[in-house]
Every structure is written in C-alpha cells, then in structure tokens.
Structure 1
Amino acid sequence: MRNLKIRILAAVILTLLPFSRAAGAGFKMDWVESEVILDRDGRAQVSYAVRWTATGGRLHGFCFEGFQETPVFDPESAYALDAAGNKYPLEINRISDKKYDVILGEGRAFTSGQITYFFRYAADLESSGNLTQTRDGNKNLTVFNWAPVQWRDPMEHQAVTVRFPVTVRGEDPGAAFLEKIGFRTEKFVNERYLVDFPLVKDSSGTGVFSARFFRRDLGSRYHFQIQVYLDARYFGLKTMAYGGLLKGPPRKTGYLPAGEKYYFNRHFPGGMLAAVPAGRGEALFLVMILAAVFCVIPFFIMAVKHRSMLTAQEGLSAVNWDGVDWTPPKIQVSTFRKPGKVAADLTPIEAGVLLEMPVGELLSLIVANMERKGLLEIKGMEPLRVARRSRGAVVSGDPYETVLLNSIKPDGTLDQSVVNETVKTIAAGLEQKLWDADLAATKAYYKKTLDNYRPGKADTDNDYYWGGYRRHYNGYINPIYARVEGVNKDLGAKVPELASSFEHFRTTQACYEGAFNRSACHDACHSACHAACHSACHSACHGACHSACVSGGH
C-alpha cells in the first residue's frame, strides 16, 4: 500500500515537470512535427522532426523523455540538417528506461542559425495501452489514444500525422469514406486542432488513409493528446479496455484486458486529469481516498450537496466501455482545401514539379543553372563530374540548389542518396505551399503561365527555369541549355526512374523508404520528403506552410 501511495504521488509530480528540453541556452525551439505509422498488430514506427534556432549558444542536443511506449530507436537513420543543407550524425544515448539524450555526434555543437533533428523508433502501442479496442453496442472499435512528448519550450506550431493500415480508393477520403471505416474522434480533438486527411501512396501506388492534426502557438508543456476511433476490422488487436471503474476485465470477448496507464482520461478526455499517469488500480485507490475525505465533511455541507453528489455518481456509473450505452462521438469532417484558391507563390523549381517535368531533366536544369551562376563547374560528362568553384562553404540563394550542391563528393560525382533526397525536398516544399490550395486550379494557373511565357536571356533563376520548361514542352531552342542534355543523360543512366515525373518517381525503389523491420505497406517517401523539406526550405516557405506536413508521452 505504501508503494502504491508513492507511485501516485510520483505520477502527479511528473505531470508538473518539463519532459523534454534542450541541453543548454542561447537557442529556442521553433516547431515539432511527428508521424505515427500503425501496423495491424498494434506496432508502430514513430518519427520526430524537431527544429531549433541557435543564437550564439552551443546547441548539442536535448533530453527526450516523457513517452509512454517503450522505444526501439533506429540510430542509423538519425541525423540533423541545418539551413545550408549540412548533415550531422546524431547519437541517441540511453540515460534510463524513460529518458534519452539526443545529441550531435562526435561532440559537435551548433551555434548559429536553424537546425532540425530527425529520429525515429519502433514501439508496440498495444502493449503500452495506446492502441486497443472498445465496444460500441455490438461492434468493436479500435481506440488510438496517444500524444507526443511534452516540451518545456513554447513553439510556433506542432503537428502529428497518423498513418492507418487502411486502403483508400480514389483521390480524396471524404465524409462517405470516413463513415464507411467508422472513423470518429473525441470532441476536444476537433476543438483544439486543425484536422485534414492527406492521401499518401505506398510503394505499389495504393492510397493509405492518414489523419493530420495541427495547432499553432503552443505554450510550454502543451499536452498534444489525440484520441480517435475506427472500425476494429482494420487491426488484429488482442486487447480490449476494461468496463467501468468497479468492473472486471472484458467478458465473453476472448480479449486480454488493455493496460490503460492513463485511466482518468476515460472519464475526463482531454482534461487536466487525463495527463495524470495513473492506471486503473491507482485511480480506484485515489477515488477511495477522496471518498474517505468527503465522508468527514460536516453533516450540513453533505446535506446541501447530497442531491448533486447523487447526480454525479449516477453519471459516473453510466460510463461503461464494454456496455451498450457508451457511444464515441462522431468526427466533424474538415479539410484545409479552399476551392478556387491558387498557390501563386511557388518557386520556379516547385512549379516544375507541379508541371510534371521529368525528374532527371529538372535536376539537370538545377545543375546547369548553378554552373551559370558560378557555384560549380561541370568537368566532364559520361560519367558526370563536377567541382565546386569555392573550397569554402557555398550556399545558393535557392534552398533546393543548396541541397543538390551538397551532394558533390570529393571525386566530383554526385552522392545518389542526396540526389534522391533533393527530389523529395522539392516535392515536400511544394506540398507545404499547396496545403490549403485547390490543386486543379493551381495546376491550371501554372500551365497557363507556361503557355504564355516568353523566354528572355536566361540570366536569372526565374527566366532560366521557365525557359527550360518551354524547351521541354514547347520545343524552345537556346544554346544555353546545351549542358542540360548531357547531365540528364548521365543521371538517367545511373537511375532510370529519374526519367519519369515525380508522381511516378515517388513509388519507385529509388525514392521509397518503408518502415524499418516491418512490411513496406506505408507511404512511399512521405517521411523523407517531410524531413528534408523542413530542414532545407522551411524558412523559404514558412509563410505558406502553416498546416505542416507532418508524433511520446501520453
């Protein structure tokens, strides 16, 4: 009993402490974006992207703690990227079962500018109680109740994207589709967050259902809780939630009782008590203590409050997760898309992706344009060899060019993994700006722009790229594009997938990055696109990326 009291006291104290924070001063947190990819068996891949701005302080890393699940980190995929496209290895060191240090490798420190940390881990969310089943009448529902870790620092925005093992047929999962799969959410979720349903395709081109939750201007230690439901047939879970507080485990179901570590959330979803890490046993003990305290209150106060207490008790006894009286609230369907809105602020390179330029030719235009500006020199073709014009740090005025510039290896060849990441970076930057736009209207706008464009001397980025697009689609001839053909030929020989548009490239092996240690049934390259975009071009498109493309604590 004494140990139980200590556990309850510790649980309450933990909710008042900062969970994850940076190790030092002279910098601030800008935003955090997370992604949870769920498998049918309750396991998941959880990814984090954490952006910091350093202003003179020596930023090594931060403490990552406060998560409910047990993480199995993937250290090989962890890295940090600054605004100039420089990549840093990360070290993830275990301090305790619930605390890790995420720091720059080799003792490095970052002192000025913006840097983004990317890391991921696998976890069993059914074992941690974040993913289980409940009953709605005679129907089983899957409950996803999870939150990323809480951070001491306030931030500009936070976003969580959840990928469900549900196939989407068509382009837009609207209200009819949500009703079909039984997707629902707690009322507080719709009140706190912007919600949309971005469609992502896996390596076979099949759509995967996703839900994205977004909020701006978060204060210190904000609890970004998400609680949603969908038809249990899409999962193969073995657990089910208990009934009421005084009831036993699920009966006549054949399921194991779920390990709810935040039991108060059942009765106060999204409230202050929902964040108290107390299981069913601790919750029952605390209720008994409170009941004993109220029994010694003077009789006349009890008499005055008698009627209201009976009403409250009746309300509590009516809550029954495995009964027929409890019905989860239905979702309010929402979308960020605004019919007729055109994203008129795309850069020329982003417009090239939207216009479905072949990926290899678009990259070749970027290489040739950087030579035109004196950033690099093409030394030879077949194989392609290039050299930086300066031995120091060279940064282009265009963030996408900077990423590709950093792919040049000492022998003059291009690092193919960085080349692929450049493509994903461009596509993700485009997604950031199109989050609330009408895709068809925007594409028609840029198609008309291309048809009406009259090339000049190709002495600016804008004129060079648009002239290159006219060359591809309208047969425009200009000797300044002579280098493009040779570069494109070499890139196409090494990676044949580059001959296609991005829509096809994103489903190829060159682009695809599936969940580690599990089947590749999820999005083709959203994680990489999302990560690269925020690291390389977030500052360039910050004004247009408020929705984020983008999940820990409870």
Structure 2
Amino acid sequence: MVLYARKLGGYGKKAALVKDLSWAGDTWIPPKLFSGTYQVKGKVAENLHPIQVALLLELPLARVVALILEGLKSQGIAEVLTEDPLRIRILTAEQAEEALEEAFLACFDAEGRVLSGLLMDFFEAQLKELQERLWDCDIEATKAHYRAKLADGEMIEAEAQGDRARYAAWRASNPHWHYWHGYHYVRRYPDRYAALGLPGELKTGYAEFMRSSSCFSGCFSPEGAGTSGAC
C-alpha cells in the first residue's frame, strides 16, 4: 500500500504542476491535424501502437480509453474502481514499460480520479505522434492493413481454447498483444466500460471530434485528390 500510494502520489504531483494551465479546463480546443502532400500510394504505416490504430480507425474516444484501461488491467498495472466518475487504482509500484501507459496514468490524480485537462493533453500528444507516423503514408491502405490485422486477431482470440499453440505464437509475435486482446474483449463485452465518466469533449465520436476542428481524411488527402469527406 505504501508503494502504491507513493506511485500514485507521484502522478498527482505531476498533475498539480499543471492544474492551473489554461488548457486544463473545459475550453479545450481539439488538435488540428495537418499533413503535406507527400503520401505514397499503397504505403502502410507499419508497427502502429494499437491505441494509435484505434484513433486511425476513428473509434469513439471513450472506447479508446476503454482499450487502454483493459490493456493496463490485463498487465496487472491498474484497475477501474468506478466508471462514472472514472476512478482507477494502480496495482504496482513498478513503472509501466511503455511511455504511452505512463502518460495515460499521469492523467489521474493521487486518488485515481481522471483529470480532464491532462487526458485531453494525452490525446493531443497521441494524435501528434500519429500524424508524424502517417505523413507520407496511404491512409486508406493503412486502415485496410490494420482492419485485416484486427480481423486475424479476432479469429485467433475466438479459437484460443482450441488452438493454444497458435494463440501463444500470435501473442509472441505481437509485443502489444494486451491491447490487441483488448479490442476483442471490448467488442465481445460492449457493456464493459460503457458508462465511463469522461469530459464532455471526449464523449463524442472520433469523427465528430475531429470535424470540430479539422477533418481527419481531408487533412491527410494527397495533393490533387480533392477533399471528399472533408470539412
């Protein structure tokens, strides 16, 4: 308990340093995604993190949070105490292996309550990194690639009990398998995490969220391709 309190308290101190910043309230402006005209037809952005894939495929942001929470739970890092209001408990004093996980955990105060400003900042950072990874890639080809990957994972998860060797091999070949597994879990149990209490700006669908500032597909359209579906 002492180690747990010390770890969560550390996140709380980080939160306290920025709680008075102007962007930490409900006036948050969604990030704008811009890209040059350098997309290479058919080029796929390889090795995206499953959470980046969720953003790319325009999952509702509440479901993206659900995927992260399920991934942390499956690793024994954190668990949800209450969904609305969202409150978590950190289960280990060890630092999470991924920077994304540490950044997400830093969005909670010393008592495990979500801090809206920091969570919005977290998504801004993830979107910025996603933009950098996609700058010269074919967005539709990349989406198709990861949809196929998710379909394969879904099939392997469904057949896990009957083919343990294949399931073990799949896990071994996917370093972020906790999160790929989370897709299957959240899809299979839609009521799980369905009541997450998040800031109003994050309760909308991803497409609406992006259209509120700049259209996702339009921002990444190759030169001369037009702006079909753009804002």
TM-score band, normalised by the shorter chain?
A: 0.5 to 0.7
Tell me if 1:397 matches 2:102.
no
1:387 aligns with 2:94: no
Distance 1:89 1:467 in 2: 35
Q: Is 1:476 the counterpart of 2:156 in the alignment? A: no
Structure 1 residue runs without a partner (length 5+): 1-85, 91-202, 213-334, 513-522, 525-554
Q: Counting helix residues as a fraction of each chain, which structure ranks higher?
A: 2
Residue 88 of structure 2: SS of its match in structure 1? strand
SS class of match (1:506): helix
Structure 2 residue aligned with 1:491: 197
Q: 1:381 to 1:421 in 2, by over 3 A?
A: same
TM-score normalised according to structure 2 size: 0.62
Give, in angstroms, the shift of residue 383 of structure 1: 2.5
**1:408 corresponds to which residue?**
108
CA separation of 1:468 and 1:499: change in aligned 2, threshold 3 A: farther
- What SS is found at the alignment partner of 1:386? strand
Cα deviation code 1:469-516 (max 9, x no counterpart): 3455xx535xxx97xx23x41235x43643412x322345xxx7xxxx
> Which segments of 5 or more consecutive residues in structure 2 lack a partner in the other structure?
1-13, 19-28, 161-166, 216-231
Partner of 1:375: 77
Distance 1:342 1:504, change over 3 A: same
Give the corresponding residue for 2:209. 505
Q: Distance in 1 between matches of 2:133 and 2:108?
A: 28
**Residue of structure 2 equivalent to 1:29:** none
| Pair 1:383–1:348, CA change in 2 (3 A) | same
Cα–Cα, structure 1 residues 365 and 407, in superposed 2: closer, same or farther, change >3 Å?
A: same
Q: Choose which of 429, 437, 457 in structure 1 pairs with 2:129.
A: 429
Deviation at 1:211?
A: 8.3
2:205 aligned partner, one-letter code:
S
Structure 2 counterparts to residues 103-252 of structure 1, below 5 A = none
CA shift in 2, pair 1:373/1:211, >3 Å: closer
Distance 1:87 1:444, change over 3 A: same
Equivalent position to 1:352, from 49, 54, 72: 54
Q: Is the 8 A contact 1:352 1:469 kept in 2?
A: no
Distance apart, 1:430 and its partner CA: 1.4
Give the Cα–Cα distance (whole angstroms) in 2 for the partners of residues 363 and 353 of structure 1: 11
User: How do 1:319-334 residues align onto structure 2 when only pairs under 5 Å count?
Assistant: none
CA distance 1:379–1:400, change in 2 (3 Å):
same
Higher RCO, 1 or 2 (CA under 8 Å, sep at least 6)?
2
CA offsets, 1:25-47, max 9 Å, x none?
xxxxxxxxxxxxxxxxxxxxxxx
What CA distance in whole angstroms lies between the structure 2 residues aligned with 1:363 and 1:450? 18
Task: Answer whether contact 2:85 2:196 (CA < 8 A) is retained.
Answer: yes
Structure 2: how far apart are the matches of 1:340 and 1:432?
17
Q: Secondary structure at the match of 1:449?
A: helix
- TM-score with structure 1 length normalisation? 0.28
For 1:491, what is the secondary structure of its paired residue? Answer: coil
How far is 1:447 from its partner? Answer: 1.4
Query: Is contact 1:385-1:413 (8 Å) kept?
Result: yes
Q: Match of 2:120?
A: 420
**Aligned equivalents of 2:175, 2:83: Cα separation in 1:** 23
Check 1:87–1:381 CA distance in 2 against 1; reply closer, same or farther (3 A cut).
closer
1:463 aligns with 2:177: yes
Name the CA distance, whole Å, in 2 between partners of 1:354 and 1:400.
Answer: 16
CA distance, structure 2, for counterparts of residue 368 and residue 468 of structure 1: 6
Amino acid at match of 1:421: D
Per the alignment, do residues 374 and 395 of structure 1 end up closer, same or farther by CA in structure 2, a change over 3 Å counting?
A: same
Instruction: Report if the CA contact (8 A) 1:343-1:433 is conserved.
Output: yes
- Kindly provide the CA deviation profile for residues 198-256 of structure 1, in whole angstroms up to 9, marking residues without a partner as x: xxxxx79xx99x787xxxxxxxxxxxxxxxxxxxxxxxxxxxxxxxxxxxxxxxxxxxx
- Larger fraction in strand: 1
The structural deviation recorded for 1:354 is 1.4
Q: How many residue pairs were aligned?
A: 178
Could you tell me the percent identity over the aligned residues?
22
Paired letter, 2:68: I
| Matching residue's letter, 2:195 | K
Kindly provide the CA deviation profile for residues 308-332 of structure 1, in whole angstroms up to 9, marking residues without a partner as x: xxxxxxxxxxxxxxxxxxxxxxxxx
Amino acid of the structure 1 residue aligned with 2:111 = D
Closer, same or farther in 2 for the Cα pair 1:507/1:421, shift >3 Å?
farther
Q: Distance in 1 between matches of 2:35 and 2:145?
A: 28
Task: Describe the superposition over 1:251-295 as per-residue Cα deviations: whole angstroms up to 9, x where unpaired.
Answer: xxxxxxxxxxxxxxxxxxxxxxxxxxxxxxxxxxxxxxxxxxxxx
Partner SS state of residue 425, structure 1: helix
The SS at the match of 2:128 is: helix
Residues 368, 449 of structure 1: CA spacing in aligned structure 2 closer, same or farther, 3 A cutoff?
closer
Indicate conservation of the 8 Å contact 1:357/1:469, yes or no: no
The residue type paired with residue 338 of structure 1 is: V
Counterpart CA distance in 2 for 1:421 and 1:377 is: 22
Change (3 A) 1:435 1:348: same
SS at match of 1:378: strand
Rounded to whole Å, the distance in 2 between the matches of 1:452 and 1:491 is 32
| RMSD of equivalent CA atoms | 3.7
